[in-house]
Structure 1
Amino acid sequence: MNRSPIFQLTVCRLNTQCSFTLTCWSENQQLQANLEYPRELERLYEAWQCLYPKAYLSLPRGRGEEGGGLTPSSLDPQNQLEEAKQSLLWTFNQWLGEHALLNIREKIQSEASRQTPENKGVDLLVACNSIDLVRLPWEAWDLNSEAIRISRTVINVENEPVSTQTNFRRGKARILVVLTDTSELSLNKDREAVRQLSKVAEVCRLKFKLGQNAKEFKQQFVTHLRDERGWDALIFAGHSDETPLTGGSFELAPGVTLSMSEVEEQFAQAKNQGLRVAIFNSCKGLRIAESLIKLGLSQVVVMREKIHDRVAPAFLDKFCQSLTRGKDVQEAVQDACNYFKSEKITYPSAYLIPSLFRRPFRAELFRIEPSPLKQAWRDWKPTRREAIALSSVLLFSLMLPVQDLLLDVRTLAQAFYRHQTKQLPREASPPVRLIAIDQESINEANETIKEFETFPMERAYLAQLVRRLSELNVRTIGIDYLLSTQEPRQKQLSEAIESAVKQQSIWFVFAIDNRQNKKVFSEIATPQWSLQGDLNFWRWYVELPTKATCSSSCPFAYLLALSHTLNQSLSLTGLPQPNLQNRTEFQQELSDYLNTEKGQKNAIASLKQTYSPFGWRSILDFSIPPEQVYERMSSGEFLKSAFPGSELHQQIRQQTVVIASGGYPEAGDNFSLPLAVQYWRRVQNSSQPKAEELPSVFTGGEAHAYMIHHLLSQHRVTLIPSFWMVLLVALLGKGMTLILLKQQIKQREQWKLGLVGATGAYGVVGFQAYLWSSVLIPWFLPSVMFWFYVLSVL
């Protein structure tokens, strides 16, 4: 429904005076003004009207004295026409720009400036009391606003009661097309133009056949016009003329001419059966337009002057193109006129000829309604601004720095929410013991180990840690250092590892780098009795293996979690153990065991290695405090501690131990500190009697510890990508705009408050979904997208 404000400007001429009355139907008010009619305007119009046919060499679609061959003057007729047109339009706009009409112009312009998504401008309908005024190019009135659409109407059109208004047809539009075949006109291009409508409407073409009786064809036209199924539109192309006494006439075929007075009843019946618009692509159609509007048709398109055989098919082609694209009849006429205006040389002055006549009481403009799917697409398809905004937000959602930043802030907010609402996980002994080689421990070790190296890490120092862990009978040890090169004092490390495997059957998981093909140096450990896991991970996601049984390379943290799960059940029968005498790879033996029913039940089922839908990733849940994920000890403190018989000794035996860097500068695996982890460290530090300096980095060992914790505790937080949520919210936002457009302005203010609350509630629901369902729902970019749509209406 067209909701644009409708103004009617009634112009009445009495001798040399013109009265202007502006009526706004929505406000039921009028503005009036009087203006002297310039005689010069008549002369300029007649000069332009005389020159217009001479600029074309082909036959016009009409008959008259000047319809035959034209002898060009010595001057360029087209250039003369251009000068005459400019003089006419300048004088016309000067007249309408006089001060007496200031209030009328300002009223129209001010209303046009108040554009909203449902009100794209103003419709100005011009009605004149004399044919001389009607002929003037009112559509060319320069009101300094593209939002003002000028069309025509007829004076003293009676408003029909609602009960007798036409009930529009439903279903596919039906269009009756009448093309006049004469020896003087070539309508092949007209047929091609009308053929476009067959894609979106049911088109019936009525054509006079050679040898057909003229009276029979006239009756055939009348019968078609009164078809009980009704027509939505009538398109006529051929000859027509102004006959004031009979309301205009048009030629159906050679020797078959109809006056409007002859077919008034038939057109009235067709109108009652659904006929809404008539298009007469023929000459001098002003009288025809007035007759049909008075009969009750909603809209009529006619040519006020002669239309030439070069112009007519071009107009019909552009007009039909616009109709097939779902545009209304006014937009279709404007598109055709704009085309003529852009092609002034080919079609001089042609854009001044077409006019749309409308009934002011029927605001709905005719358009060919698309199918339900096409109608839905027309309503839901993004505008240019919406498409740009959506593309920009989607692009941002795919940028890795933006993803990292938003995830960092989101997990910080989640940590704060979890802490303030006291929804922390139940306290339990962390499953991971992180032995961190920090700078302080390195400084202490420098006093006992000469020429201590940090890159690569001193092998003798690692040997000390391994021997100490072996003495404590730790079952699973992970070494988060690449041991791929031969280094001094390497033998001490290899002997310590082999001794631990031989005496305690300790499971060792070594970090390797599959990207750079860096494996464990064979003299330190061999695949026959150790496990090797890839230390690479995508920040900050939980790395999972291709296969749960780890038949091929597995992530470092997953192998440690798997080893810990198996080592907790000492009573498992058939479980392979690391053995220095093994000839087959230990990882292959382990994979074979996991493929058995017993292995599936005791290990794979415990880890519950499930993959997220659509390839979505699981993230490290930094909303859980680090102290509930792992227990961190500096390597120096670990070597000095007295474990045997202590509670700490019993605790460490139940944990997976990871030897990793503690944040010293040369480590090579230091990351920027996640905001959520920084928050937890500050919370923990504030509760200490003596504040300590907080670490400024987050190590790869800590990231692996989080992964091990999540795998062992079956804690999987699935991240829904912002990209998908932005698309979903864009649909929601578009739907909301369609709802808001139907609301009054006061109601929209109420909606605004509700939507602000809904956005906040969406955030709270997202926080709780994270805790209850382990799903991270993005908030920021989807909210930005949603409010872009909503604010465009509000």
Structure 2
Amino acid sequence: MSKSVVISLGHGNLNQGFPRVTVQVWETNNPHREQFIGSLPPAPQLDQLYKNWRIIYQSLCDRKLLRTPSTDDLDDYLEIGNGVTNISQHNFTELCAGLEAEMDTWLKSEGILGLSRKLRSALHLNEEINVIVETDDDLMRRLPWHRCDFFRDYSKAELAISRPEYMRHNDLDLQPKRNVVRILAILGDSEGIDLGAETEFLQGLNECEVVFLQTPTRQELNTSLWDNLGWDIIFFAGHSRTEGATGRLYINNGTDNSITIEELSEALKAAIEKGLKLAIFNSCDGLGMALALEKLHIPTAIVMREPVPNRVAQVFFHNFLTAFAISHLPLYTSFQMARRQLQGLENEFPGASWLPIICQNPAVEPPVWTKI
């Protein structure tokens, strides 16, 4: 038995606070729900702590092979060097602990305590819990909610984020009938990184049909998304970045080498209408891509919150698909296992386990490999 906890932050931000926080608890196969209401006070210190965390994280990442097109460009974007010197992994570990502690303090403030007690009384420690934070605030989507006390107490709970507005596509009878899981694997610009591990793993998967697009042109990618049979999963590996709120994929190394999700919106809408259930962007700084996909009401997307080292992306993808596609575990369980296993790389890649995030449409059940 599993439950979903949907936390709607409503209107507000860290400088103003969130005057009306609503939490709904849903149980699998039960249409009835429980709802609790509270509030969160302003916490501008969290804003600054996160910015400091991001600056130091990026500075440490600059020493690694990243799945971003140009670390030089990102230096200006992240204001690297703004008073930060002598950066070490020890500094970063201390900052992680400080950010976690400040979040826990904020989430124990007076306006939210009653809600928290009611929520915990509705849950059991040993049940699977999908926790979805609804917000369109970029900073709130980036915070490490998964490191809060709640997730330490409920070890089978896993985090996802969502826009406040969502809907489901009901044209199931119009979707093409597929005998096996269909995966469109898009291998974009790979300058300076190695996509061989993901390619080899996908080639070895059973019970599915994988179609590879190697450094496609915009037209080739658009045409593939419109495929008559449709796709169950879309996978992208290569370079990407988020510019403001817009995600950009680097699909090849030519002159017309990048494209945004918005520029593929009609093709992606068609793919979703034909049954696309999961998009995985195993590339840098993916929240811009996720936001655009959420606006198209995709059921589930998995992205990296920040720039991601090549090795971290490879290990996460391998462990997630092993659990999801081979062991047939639930998506949230598979994701949690793969994310937690990244902690084993953090002596070399600090912050690795903070990077992956699920973006979930709360109106749609997460996909299950055996039911896709």
1:309 corresponding residue in structure 2: 310
Task: Select which of 73, 79, 82 maps to 2:93.
Answer: 82
Residue 18 and residue 321 in structure 1: after superposition, are their counterparts in 2 closer, same or farther (change >3 A)? same
Query: 5 Å matches for 1:101-500?
Result: 101-113=112-124, 120-143=127-150, 144-157=153-166, 159-160=167-168, 162-163=170-171, 167=175, 169-196=177-204, 198-208=205-215, 217-244=217-244, 247-254=246-253, 255=255, 256-323=257-324, 324-363=326-365, 365-369=366-370
1:102 maps to a residue whose letter is L
CA distance in 1, matches of 2:199, 2:181: 18
Quick check: 1:58 aligned with 2:64? Answer: yes
Which secondary structure does the structure 2 equivalent of 1:241 belong to?
strand
Deviations 1:251-271 (A, max 9, x none): 111142111111111001001
Which secondary structure does the structure 1 equivalent of 2:165 belong to?
coil
CA distance in 2, matches of 1:178, 1:160: 25
Deviations 1:428-455 (A, max 9, x none): xxxxxxxxxxxxxxxxxxxxxxxxxxxx
Q: TM-score, normalised by structure 1?
A: 0.42
Query: 5 Å matches for 1:555-566?
Result: none
Query: 5 Å matches for 1:603-682?
Result: none
Shift of residue 311, structure 1, vs aligned partner? 1.4
Residue 162 and residue 207 in structure 1: after superposition, are their counterparts in 2 closer, same or farther (change >3 A)? closer
1:148 maps to a residue whose letter is A
Shift of residue 292, structure 1, vs aligned partner? 1.1
CA distance in 2, matches of 1:204, 1:190: 13
Residue 30 and residue 298 in structure 1: after superposition, are their counterparts in 2 closer, same or farther (change >3 A)? same
1:89 maps to a residue whose letter is E
CA distance in 2, matches of 1:91, 1:33: 19
CA distance in 2, matches of 1:32, 1:307: 36
CA distance in 1, matches of 2:174, 2:147: 32
The percent of aligned pairs where both chains have the same amino acid is 24
CA distance in 1, matches of 2:340, 2:228: 37
2:212 maps to a residue whose letter is R
Shift of residue 86, structure 1, vs aligned partner? 1.0
CA distance in 2, matches of 1:24, 1:30: 6
1:499 corresponding residue in structure 2: none
CA distance in 1, matches of 2:113, 2:182: 44
1:183 maps to a residue whose letter is E
Deviations 1:528-550 (A, max 9, x none): xxxxxxxxxxxxxxxxxxxxxxx
Task: Select which of 89, 101, 107 maps to 1:96.
Answer: 107
Q: Give yes or no for contact 2:189–2:238 (8 Å, CA) kept in 1.
A: yes
1:142 maps to a residue whose letter is D
Shift of residue 299, structure 1, vs aligned partner? 0.2
CA distance in 2, matches of 1:345, 1:165: 50
Shift of residue 218, structure 1, vs aligned partner? 1.6
Which secondary structure does the structure 2 equivalent of 1:231 belong to?
coil
Q: TM-score, normalised by structure 2?
A: 0.86
CA distance in 1, matches of 2:233, 2:194: 23
Deviations 1:715-757 (A, max 9, x none): xxxxxxxxxxxxxxxxxxxxxxxxxxxxxxxxxxxxxxxxxxx
Larger Rg: 1
Residue 64 and residue 342 in structure 1: after superposition, are their counterparts in 2 closer, same or farther (change >3 A)? closer
2:203 maps to a residue whose letter is R
Q: Give yes or no for contact 2:171–2:273 (8 Å, CA) kept in 1.
A: no
Q: Give yes or no for contact 2:178–2:229 (8 Å, CA) kept in 1.
A: no
Shift of residue 166, structure 1, vs aligned partner? 7.5
Which secondary structure does the structure 2 equivalent of 1:13 belong to?
coil
Q: Give yes or no for contact 2:185–2:235 (8 Å, CA) kept in 1.
A: yes
Shift of residue 147, structure 1, vs aligned partner? 3.2
Quick check: 1:37 aligned with 2:42? Answer: yes
Shift of residue 244, structure 1, vs aligned partner? 4.4
Shift of residue 152, structure 1, vs aligned partner? 1.3
Shift of residue 98, structure 1, vs aligned partner? 2.3
1:130 maps to a residue whose letter is D
Which secondary structure does the structure 2 equivalent of 1:55 belong to?
helix
1:7 corresponding residue in structure 2: 5
Which consecutive residues of structure 2, in runs of 5 or more, have no partner in the other structure?
none
Shift of residue 170, structure 1, vs aligned partner? 4.1
CA distance in 2, matches of 1:99, 1:140: 20
2:36 maps to a residue whose letter is L
CA distance in 2, matches of 1:166, 1:339: 39
2:250 maps to a residue whose letter is E
Which secondary structure does the structure 1 equivalent of 2:251 belong to?
strand
- Say which is worse superposed, 346-355 or 106-115, in terms of deviation: 106-115
CA distance in 1, matches of 2:51, 2:125: 38
Which consecutive residues of structure 1, in runs of 5 or more, have no partner in the other structure?
209-213, 372-794
Q: Give yes or no for contact 1:60–1:67 (8 Å, CA) kept in 2.
A: no
Shift of residue 274, structure 1, vs aligned partner? 1.5
Quick check: 1:49 aligned with 2:57? Answer: no
Which secondary structure does the structure 1 equivalent of 2:285 belong to?
coil
- Aligned residue pairs total 352
Residue 95 and residue 178 in structure 1: after superposition, are their counterparts in 2 closer, same or farther (change >3 A)? same
2:46 maps to a residue whose letter is L
Which secondary structure does the structure 1 equivalent of 2:32 belong to?
coil
Q: Give yes or no for contact 2:281–2:303 (8 Å, CA) kept in 1.
A: yes
Shift of residue 6, structure 1, vs aligned partner? 1.9
Shift of residue 332, structure 1, vs aligned partner? 2.3
Q: Give yes or no for contact 1:301–1:354 (8 Å, CA) kept in 2.
A: yes
Residue 169 and residue 49 in structure 1: after superposition, are their counterparts in 2 closer, same or farther (change >3 A)? farther
CA distance in 2, matches of 1:357, 1:165: 25
Q: Give yes or no for contact 2:339–2:356 (8 Å, CA) kept in 1.
A: yes
CA distance in 2, matches of 1:205, 1:85: 38
User: Does 1 or 2 have the higher relative contact order (CA < 8 Å, sep 6+)?
Assistant: 2
Deviations 1:82-104 (A, max 9, x none): 11111111111221122322233
CA distance in 1, matches of 2:165, 2:344: 36
Q: Give yes or no for contact 1:169–1:274 (8 Å, CA) kept in 2.
A: no
Shift of residue 139, structure 1, vs aligned partner? 2.1
CA distance in 2, matches of 1:296, 1:164: 15
Which secondary structure does the structure 1 equivalent of 2:163 belong to?
coil
CA distance in 2, matches of 1:36, 1:156: 24
Residue 341 and residue 317 in structure 1: after superposition, are their counterparts in 2 closer, same or farther (change >3 A)? same
Deviations 1:97-126 (A, max 9, x none): 2232223323332232186xxxx3322210
Residue 29 and residue 163 in structure 1: after superposition, are their counterparts in 2 closer, same or farther (change >3 A)? farther
CA distance in 2, matches of 1:311, 1:114: 30
Q: Give yes or no for contact 1:200–1:368 (8 Å, CA) kept in 2.
A: no
Shift of residue 46, structure 1, vs aligned partner? 1.0
